[in-house]
Amino acid sequence: MTVNEIVITKAIIDRFSQKFMEYTEVDTAIVGAGPSGLIAAYFLAKAGQKVAIFERELSIGGGMWGGGMMFNEIVVQTEAKELLEMFGINTREYEPGYYTADAVECVTTICSNALKAGAKIFNCMSAEDVIIREDLVTGLVLTWSAVETAGMHVDPLSIAAHDVIDATGHATEVIRLIEKKADIALNTETGKIMGERSMWAEKAEQLTLENTKEICPGVWVSGMAANAAFGGPRMGPIFGGMLLSGNKVAELIISKEESAFGTSAEDFDVWFRKNKAIFESELLAQRYFIADPEHSLSIGCGTGIFDERLGITLGVEPSEDMAKIARKRGMKIDVGTAEDIPYQDGTVKRVLLGTILSYVKDRKKAVTEAYRILQPGGYIVVSFLAREGSYTMLYDLGSLRGEYDPETVPRDPYPLKFVKGTHWCSVSEVTNLLQEAGFVELKYVQTLTHHPKYSNEEIEQPQEGYDKGDYIVVQGRKP
């Protein structure tokens, strides 16, 4: 066989581009391929997540390669020894409770297992910023480390991630960026990075695990970054805490996803967490008519995910499970239904029925109830997925087929089991309901004007009318 340099070149460019392209949207993006990042990647990938690690250095392994002061042996305690053994890494007891392992064997074996489990590692890439939507981190901004080191004026590229792990060690680089540029309060005592303290190995090892958590929505800290974020001490070349922290952050992310999708109370929230641009577009459309949130009442407010952002604090919700979550968001909730709202006649200035008409038993009653509790001159605001739109067709077609069409399905579709049997309202149906109840001066805005497959790609500003959007918000006035 002859070897052709150009084929080699094409193979590399082609295969790398494919890989990077595929990982422009991931479930979890990990910044830093040190011990905690690698372990987290292994467990997340094993659980079926699409995981990418972005590592600034050419080499993988962070601070583990060099053991302590370049003596390439590491020390772990009993709890972490089991984890190393699970990977087939040799450990030797030094004194009771202290085990040593070869640092190079640790890095290479854990890295190999993470890759075999399905995680991808992009080395020589630095996270230089995060993507932000309102107060949510939705992805990472990346550049080649060589560009960064050379200080070249080159714009970066970006990837989307549902969850981001800051596993950057002492530097806490991701949350430092969030703190500096995104105005998001961190889940620490001060709302800011508390800073790493001097060495105290025993305390630090224990705190590393305690401090491994979600530090702001969708952003997690693991390893030394967790301690530095929460003001814990450093621990030196004992690596048990790092390894266990990587395991813990993976478990936290997995259980958050699972538990949320398992209980219907939070299904809705999880879906919107995965479809942030859609959430923001729908929110903007609702906000168009919610001029006075402090005087507004949300009927069927669910977990309050929209109301919290709209600034509405009063809600009515039939499900105690949902109400509990809404109360945690600071709302005052009365348990009740849209057909029997526990409010006196003529007492409310504005009522929001946010995407509930498709689910209530008696739509006519729900709208007349809203009319009853409104003051004269008060407003009703109704949002809904339009029956004539592509989303409802996608859902109905999926329900009929028993599965979504893989060619047209968006990346994170709403689970079909939750849309079966839903009554989708058309614009004329909602218009008639409002007019028959006595509402006048109907006004409409619309959003989600792209095909469902693409509607999570950008946040849309609401447009007046109802002739092209899948999501419609209508306002009516009680004379």
Of the candidate residues 31, 136, 194, 380, the single one contacting ligand 48F (CB under 6 A)? 31
DSSP three-state, residue 23: coil
Q: Does 35 bind ligand 48F (CB under 6 A)?
A: yes
Piece in contact with ligand 48F (CB under 6 A), picked from 30-38, 180-188, 293-301, 391-399? 30-38
Give me the least distance between CB of 130 and ligand 48F, in Å please: 11
Residue spans of alpha helices (H) in 117-239? 145-150, 173-181, 201-210, 224-230
Give me the least distance between CB of 175 and ligand 48F, in Å please: 11
Task: Quickly count helices (H) and strands (E) in the chain.
Answer: 16, 19
How many chain residues touch ligand 48F (CB under 6 A)? Answer: 31
Of 35 and 389, the one with the shorter C-beta distance to ligand 48F is 35
Q: Does 147 bind ligand 48F (CB under 6 A)?
A: no
Of 80 and 325, the one with the shorter C-beta distance to ligand 48F is 80
Backbone angles phi, psi at 125, to 5 degrees: -120, 135
Question: Rounded to whole angstroms, what are the CA distances from 314 to 302, 307, 319, 368?
Answer: 12, 9, 15, 19
Instruction: Match 């669910």 to its residue by tokens.
Output: 302
Give me the least distance between CB of 17 and ligand 48F, in Å please: 20
DSSP string computed for 359-424: T-S-HHHHHHHHHHHEEEEEEEEEEEE-TTSHHHHHHHHHHHHTS--TTT--SSPPPGGGTTT--P
Give me the least distance between CB of 50 and ligand 48F, in Å please: 19
Q: Does 237 bind ligand 48F (CB under 6 A)?
A: yes
Query: Checking DSSP bridges between strand 120-123 and strand 51-55, what pairing results, if any?
Result: parallel
Distance CA 143, CA 387 (A): 44
Whether residue 100 contacts residue 228, with contact meaning beta carbons closer than 8 Å, is answered with: no
Give me the least distance between CB of 225 and ligand 48F, in Å please: 6
x/- mask, ligand 48F, residues 240-279, rule CB under 6 A, reads --x-------------------------------------
Of 148 and 388, the one with the shorter C-beta distance to ligand 48F is 148
Query: Which of the residues 309 through 348 are near ligand 48F (CB under 6 A)?
Result: none
Q: Does 75 bind ligand 48F (CB under 6 A)?
A: no
Piece in contact with ligand 48F (CB under 6 A), picked from 26-34, 90-98, 185-193, 277-285? 26-34
The radius of gyration computed from the CA coordinates of the chain, to the nearest angstrom, equals: 26
Give me the least distance between CB of 24 and ligand 48F, in Å please: 17
**How far is C-alpha 168 from the chain's CA centre?**
20
Length of the chain: 479
Q: Does 215 bind ligand 48F (CB under 6 A)?
A: no
Piece in contact with ligand 48F (CB under 6 A), picked from 6-14, 25-33, 95-103, 424-432? 25-33
Question: Which residue(s) pair with 299 in the sheet?
Answer: 316, 353
Distance CA 395, CA 421 (A): 10
Query: Which of the residues 149 through 208 are near ligand 48F (CB under 6 A)?
Result: 167-169, 171, 173
Q: Does 56 bind ligand 48F (CB under 6 A)?
A: yes
Whether residue 444 contacts residue 466, with contact meaning beta carbons closer than 8 Å, is answered with: yes
Whether residue 354 contacts residue 287, with contact meaning beta carbons closer than 8 Å, is answered with: no
Of 126 and 188, the one with the shorter C-beta distance to ligand 48F is 126
Burial of 478 (0-12, 13-18, 19+ CB in 10 A): buried
Of the candidate residues 67, 139, 218, 223, the single one contacting ligand 48F (CB under 6 A)? 223
Of 237 and 293, the one with the shorter C-beta distance to ligand 48F is 237
Give me the least distance between CB of 226 and ligand 48F, in Å please: 8
Distance CA 321, CA 272 (A): 18
Q: Does 236 bind ligand 48F (CB under 6 A)?
A: yes
Q: Does 57 bind ligand 48F (CB under 6 A)?
A: yes
- Torsion, Cα 72 78 84 90, to 10 degrees, reads 60
Give me the least distance between CB of 173 and ligand 48F, in Å please: 4
Distance CA 219, CA 309 (A): 19
Give me the least distance between CB of 261 and ligand 48F, in Å please: 29
Sign of the torsion angle spanned by Cα atoms 13, 18, 21, 22: negative
Question: Which residue(s) pair with 141 in the sheet?
Answer: 129, 158
Q: Does 126 bind ligand 48F (CB under 6 A)?
A: yes
Q: Does 127 bind ligand 48F (CB under 6 A)?
A: yes
Piece in contact with ligand 48F (CB under 6 A), picked from 28-36, 349-357, 361-369, 451-459? 28-36
Give me the least distance between CB of 185 and ligand 48F, in Å please: 22
Binding interface with ligand 48F (CB under 6 A): 31-37, 54-57, 62-64, 126-127, 167-169, 171, 173, 223-225, 234-239, 242
